[in-house]
Chains A and B, each alone.
Chain A
Amino acid sequence: MQLAPIEEKADLMIRSVWTSSGGRQIPGNDFNSLLLLACHTADITAAFLTTAGAIVSSAIWGQAPAENQCLFSLVFPLRTSEGLLRGQLIIVDITPKLLTDQQKISLRLIADSLTQTIVLKTRLDRYKGDDSDRKSVTEELDRQKAFYENILNKLPTDIAVFDADHRYLFVNPGAISKEEYRKFIIGKDDYEYAVYRNRDIAVAHSRRAKFLEVKQSGKEIRWEDTLKDPQGNNITHLRRLFPVYDENGELNLVIGFGIDITERKIMEEKQTALVQQLSSRNSQLIDFCSIVSHNLRAPLVNMSMLVNFISENTDPVEQRLLISKLRPVIDNLHDTFNELVESIQIRQDLEIKSEDVCLSDCIRRTMEGLQPEISRLNARIETELQGSGIIHYPPQYLNSIIHNLISNSLKYHFPGRSPLIVVKTECLAEKIILSVRDNGLGIDLVKHRDNFFKIGKVFHRHPNAKGFGLYMTKTQVEAMGGRIWVESVPNEGSIFFIEFVNRSKQAS
């Protein structure tokens, strides 16, 4: 059997074949075996195959099966010089784009007349005659791999790639900074990693739940995730997890990545606090406007009605009666006006000067001022002051606060019961808590808690109650960063608490 012409022709043909270094010989050592070559076939034209006539009687051009990822394949029969069909040569183009002219590799088909076999030998560039091209291809691939990995590793986000069973295929240093841990995790899941790192398994549970959500829905999910860093600070990530499918619609990969949005989160929280502050200021303003509209307009209406009656009336006795009614209206208008102006000034006077004020002096002065009322009601005022009670505060605010609370306790005493008022201070680090307890009327907090410190709210039938006092007190306390609250039982008494933020160095 003469094989030489086959060898010669095939060699001639394959010499011009460009192939990747992966061009390989399929097991099989005779004409009947199938030779599958991963080749670049740019030089194989229909015309060339025709010139190979004696060997190649026909070539089937066509689209290759998808799983081989070929552009096309060539199938042609190999025959002996006697025309007997001895096998098929299939040339499959897999990676034409990877190859350049420098990587040209020749294949040689060697026929062995003794064993009647054809051996396909890969020869790295027959014309240059060494292994340098194979090496350079490998190097090029490595270089490209390093290039892309470098990009993924340097991205300031954490990236994790999972297989369809939630096992890690890749993580970048953004996700796991230590290389040792990164190496460990490949091929494992979060449960194994939690055990390895001796971490709470709850994280693995929640990540598995997210993974299954993506797998089942087939859709990307996003969520925010807050964890503590080693310094104990909250770190918030915006995480995204999305599925990647192959051409058959099978889940191939799930890719997750997270961006650190801690700064944005802090900003958002600041904004939310600001919006809340503004909205509370706004509702205070609405209350304020409505009280101004009511409290100033009410006496004006009365005055105008009185003046109308006076001018229409001819009876001097009646006129005198009407004129006598004008005085309390004008007084009321005057008081209301002053109180409104005062409360506006508290809000505007942000630069008000603080001084070191002695709380016990302040309480003593207030008691002196209220002495006639204290004597009239036979009231007893006890003080339990802790430490020196020096507080850094605007003196006029402090006087006004203490005066308001004590005079309220006297004003709303329980009829027939001698008022007992206990003023107490408690000094904590940077805080002083003042409490004023009485045995007076008390207030139904179930009904009134929401309105308690609102302007214009009055809870008892008292001729001088206008609902300004506690509103002012609250304003004066809050303007300096403190807070006020109340506990009360109707008919038993109330305790008002004020927490002052104390910035005094002398505070004890």
Chain B
Amino acid sequence: MKSIFLIDDDPIFVFLTRKVIDSTNCKFEINEFMDGELALNRLQDICEDPTQLPDVIFLDLSMPVMDGWEFLKEYESLKPKIKKEIALFIVSSSISPQEVERSKNYSSVTDFLIKPLEKDKIVEIMS
């Protein structure tokens, strides 16, 4: 079963995104994190265990404690230790072109997606 890390502090968005993922009728394991630091701590714990590492990370940008950008910085320095190929998608409600540009500085970012996450897009990403 494919696994997803959903890093977002907005409980309604997380709830809705879960519903969209469920509606694809595919079985995914979804782990939720309210901010970048919680997700990073988890990744540090499991970085050498491919069975626990996710296939896909959906990362919000605006979060308390550790926002998406800070997470990306830490994630890139952790990356050499991570024993799995992970696709990372920024999922932001912001439509600012500056943020899209800024995300290009991070090689670990697969794509920049703007909320909401559509069903078709999730199917495409997870297939």
Contact = CB atoms under 8 A, between A and B. Distances in A.
**Bound pair (A, B):** yes
Contact of B65 (A309, A325, A460): A460
A188 to B, nearest CB: 62
A293 B12 contact: no
Nearest to B92: A294
Contacts of B10: 298, 302
Given A290-B98, A290-B99, A461-B35, A301 B62 contact: no
B34 interface: yes
Contacts of A306: 12, 16
Given A325-B15, A458-B64, A462-B64, A305 B116 contact: yes
A195 interface: no
B115 interface: yes
A456 B96 CA distance: 15
Contacts of A460: 64-65
B19 A309 contact: yes
B64 A461 contact: yes
Interface string A460-473: 11100101000000
A304 B12 CA distance: 12
Nearest to B12: A302
Interface string A130-142: 0000000000000
B106 to A, nearest CB: 18
A297 B64 contact: no
A319 to B, nearest CB: 13
A297 B13 CA distance: 12
Contacts of A459: 64-65
Nearest to B93: A298
Nearest to A301: B115
A232 interface: no
Contacts of A302: 10, 12-13, 16
A302, A460, A465 — which one has the most chain B CB atoms within 10 A of its CB?
A302
A301 B93 contact: yes
A301 B94 contact: no
Nearest to A462: B64
Contacts of A458: 63-65
A386 B9 CA distance: 43
Interface string A269-302: 0000000000000000010011001110110011
Nearest to B64: A458
A298 B60 CA distance: 11
B96 A290 contact: yes
A289 B64 CA distance: 19
Contacts of A461: 34-35, 64-65
Interface string B30-46: 00001100000000000
A305 B16 contact: yes
Interface in B1-59: 10, 12-13, 15-16, 19-20, 34-35
Nearest to A289: B96
B95 interface: yes
Contact of B12 (A286, A294, A325): A325
Nearest to B38: A461
Contacts of A289: 96
A304 B65 contact: no
Contact of A297 (B12, B15, B65, B95): B95
A301 B19 contact: no
Given A294-B94, A460-B65, A465-B64, A301 B35 contact: no
B32 to A, nearest CB: 14
Count chain A CB atoms within 10 A of each CB in B12, B15, B20, B116 and give the residue with the most.
Answer: B12
Nearest to B20: A305
A293 B94 contact: yes
A33 B35 CA distance: 109
Interface in B54-94: 61-65, 67, 70, 92-94
B94 A297 contact: yes
A235 interface: no
Nearest to A296: B93
A329 interface: yes
B37 to A, nearest CB: 9
B126 to A, nearest CB: 19
B34 A329 contact: no
Interface string A301-331: 1101110010000000000000001001100
A328 B98 contact: no
Given A290-B99, A305-B116, A328 B93 contact: no
Given A306-B16, A309-B19, A456-B62, A301 B99 contact: no
Interface string B100-114: 000000000000000
Contacts of B61: 294
Contacts of A467: 64
A306 B12 CA distance: 9
A297 B93 contact: yes
Contact of B13 (A286, A298, A457): A298
A301 B113 CA distance: 13
Please give me the 3 A-B residue pairs with the lowest Cβ-Cβ distance, nearest first. Answer: A458-B64, A298-B93, A294-B94
Given A305-B16, A309-B19, 15 more contacts: A286-B98, A290-B99, A293-B93, A294-B61, A294-B62, A294-B93, A298-B62, A301-B116, A302-B16, A305-B20, A306-B12, A309-B16, A461-B35, A461-B65, A467-B64
20 contacts: A293-B93, A293-B94, A293-B95, A294-B92, A294-B96, A297-B95, A297-B115, A301-B93, A301-B115, A301-B116, A302-B16, A305-B13, A305-B20, A306-B12, A306-B16, A325-B15, A329-B12, A447-B70, A456-B62, A467-B64
